[in-house]
């Protein structure tokens, strides 16, 4: 079985999914599709393309709502008496990151004066409790694959780190990974020392490419160029595999909204 976590990070969620472009599923997409098609790609790849059999999801918009706004708070942060104490204050998220993400998104010109002018009018200067956001800030999915592997997938705004973590539990050992730390731990059952001969631990530091998204952007482009030049016959992440993760995301959102278990064969038949 597999436990997989998408730790969005509280400030990242506030920037991208409360104030930002992906805050409202009526205008863009559900959170699990926008943020976590990558996570579902990872799971499909680990299971060697084995298809999803059924999925059930639970989640809601728990915190970033008008009723949770502090008493007397303003609609715009620069006018608010809580600007120095609020967790999601622009002073903490944007003014401390001039010249870097996410301030690069919040203002076209990267100076304090230009940023202030932008935040007085644009979406990134709005109170996080008073935006037009509707995407969930927490979501749990339970997935069964055709080969019998069960997965629990947690997608949550309320984390300190911005990273993905995974634990793969097999009959002969366990694997743990953290992409932010670029660190994998492998435990082999019964090969350790001590009273219960616990797992023998092996630590792996993978070689990764430089570039955005942990080197993933560079890898995708290298893959594309190699295909065009005939250096390889197939892509490591072909359109069919990508389609699988997107269908899983839509099915998970269907389950969350309608409160039902989605059987993938039946779900796909709706569109035939």
| Per-residue pLDDT tens digits for 97-136 | 999 999 999 999 999 999 999 999 999 999 999 999 999 9
> Do the domain assignments include residue 272?
no
Q: Mark which of 76, 103, 125 sits at the end of a domain.
A: 125
> Do the domain assignments include residue 42?
yes
Q: Mark which of 125, 150, 176 sits at the end of a domain.
A: 125
> Do the domain assignments include residue 47?
yes
CA 101 to CA 181: how far, in whole Å?
A: 20
The pLDDT of residue 224 is 84
Please work out, in degrees rounded to the nearest 5, the angle formed at the alpha carbon of residue 150 by the alpha carbons of 220 and 63.
75
Q: Mark which of 125, 146, 162 sits at the end of a domain.
A: 125
The pLDDT of residue 197 is 65
pLDDT > 90? residue 196 = no
Q: For residue 156, which of 55, 31, 42 has the smallest C-alpha distance? A: 31
pLDDT > 90? residue 163 = yes
Contacts of 268 (CB under 8 A, 6+ apart): 247
pTM assigned to the model: 0.89
Domain CATH for 20: 3.30.360.10
Question: Which of the four pLDDT bands, split at 50, 70 and 90, describes residue 195?
Answer: low
Please work out, in degrees rounded to the nearest 5, the angle formed at the alpha carbon of residue 71 by the alpha carbons of 80 and 19.
55
Q: Do residues 150 and 220 both lie within one domain? A: yes
pLDDT > 80? residue 233 = no
Token pair recorded at residue 62: 């728990």
Q: How many domains does the chain have?
A: 2
CA 184 to CA 152: how far, in whole Å?
A: 19
> Do the domain assignments include residue 118?
yes
CA 136 to CA 217: how far, in whole Å?
A: 27
Q: If you average pLDDT over residues 71-79, what whole number do you get?
A: 96
Q: Do residues 36 and 83 both lie within one domain? A: no
Q: Do residues 73 and 56 both lie within one domain? A: no
Q: Which range of residues forms the domain containing residue 107?
A: 66-125
CA 217 to CA 58: how far, in whole Å?
A: 31
Rg (CA), the chain: 21
Q: Do residues 110 and 183 both lie within one domain? A: no
Q: Do residues 99 and 227 both lie within one domain? A: no
pLDDT > 80? residue 236 = no
163: which strand partners? 7
> What is the chain's length?
272
What does the mean pLDDT of the chain come to?
A: 92
């Amino acid at each position: 079985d597999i436990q997989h976590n998408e730790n969005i990070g509280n400030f990242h969620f506030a920037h991208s999914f409360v104030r930002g472009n992906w805050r409202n599923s009526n205008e863009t997409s559900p959170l699990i599709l926008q943020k976590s098609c990558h996570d579902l790609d990872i799971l499909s790849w680990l299971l060697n393309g084995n298809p999803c059999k059924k999925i059930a999801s639970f989640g809601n918009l728990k915190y970033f709502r008008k009723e949770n706004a502090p008493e007397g708070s303003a609609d715009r942060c620069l006018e608010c008496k809580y600007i120095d104490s609020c967790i999601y204050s622009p002073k903490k998220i944007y003014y401390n990151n001039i010249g870097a993400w996410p301030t690069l998104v919040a203002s076209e010109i990267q100076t304090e004066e230009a940023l202030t002018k932008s935040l007085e009018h644009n979406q990134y200067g709005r109170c996080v409790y008073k935006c037009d956001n509707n995407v969930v800030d927490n979501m749990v999915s339970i997935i069964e694959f055709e080969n019998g592997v069960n997965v629990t997938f947690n997608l949550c705004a309320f984390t300190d780190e911005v990273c993905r973590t995974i634990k793969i539990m097999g009959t002969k050992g366990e694997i743990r990974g953290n992409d932010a730390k670029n660190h994998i731990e492998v435990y082999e059952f019964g090969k350790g020392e001590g009273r219960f001969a616990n797992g023998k631990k092996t630590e792996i530091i993978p070689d990764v490419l430089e570039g955005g998204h942990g080197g993933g952007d560079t890898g995708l482009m290298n893959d594309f160029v190699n295909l065009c030049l005939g250096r390889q016959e197939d892509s490591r992440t072909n359109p069919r595999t990508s389609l699988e993760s997107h269908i899983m995301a839509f099915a998970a959102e269907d389950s969350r909204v309608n409160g039902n278990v989605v059987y993938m064969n039946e779900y796909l038949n709706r569109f035939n």
